[in-house]
Amino acid sequence: MRWVQWFRSNKTQVEVSVDAKAELLQLYAEIKAAKQEWDNAVRYFEYALGKDQIDYAIFAIEAAEKRYEMLLRKAKAMNVKWPEWYQGEAV
C-alpha cells in the first residue's frame, strides 16, 4: 500500500531535463504573450467606435482568450514541476 502512495506522489511531479527547461521557458513566453494579446484585445474593445470595430474587438477577445486557455491546458498537461517565477525569470 505504501508503494502506491509513493508512486502517486512521485508521478504527479516529474523533474525537468535541460531540453525540457528550454521548452518550458518558450511555453512560458508564449503564455505571457497570449495574456498580453488578450489584455490588448480587451483594451481595444473599451475604445471601439462603431459596429464594425466592436465586432472585430469581440472576435479578437474570443480568439485571444481561446489561445491563452489552450496554452494553459498545454502547460498543465506537461505534468512537470514548474520553476518559481520572479519578474519573468525562472529561479
pLDDT digits (tens, 9 = 90+) for 8-36: 565 544 455 677 778 888 998 999 999 99
pLDDT at 2: 61
Domain presence at residue 27: yes
C-alpha cell at 40: 490588448
Provide the number of structural domains found in the chain: 1
Cα separation, 60 vs 54, in Å, equals 10
pLDDT digits (tens, 9 = 90+) for 38-87: 999 999 999 999 999 999 999 999 999 999 999 999 988 988 777 776 66
Domain presence at residue 28: yes
Domain presence at residue 6: no
Classify residue 85 as exposed, middle or buried by CB count within 10 Å of its CB (0-12, 13-18, 19+). exposed
Tell me the one-letter amino acid at 31. I
| Domain that residue 24 falls in | 18-90
User: Considering the entire predicted model, what is its pTM?
Assistant: 0.70
Domain presence at residue 68: yes
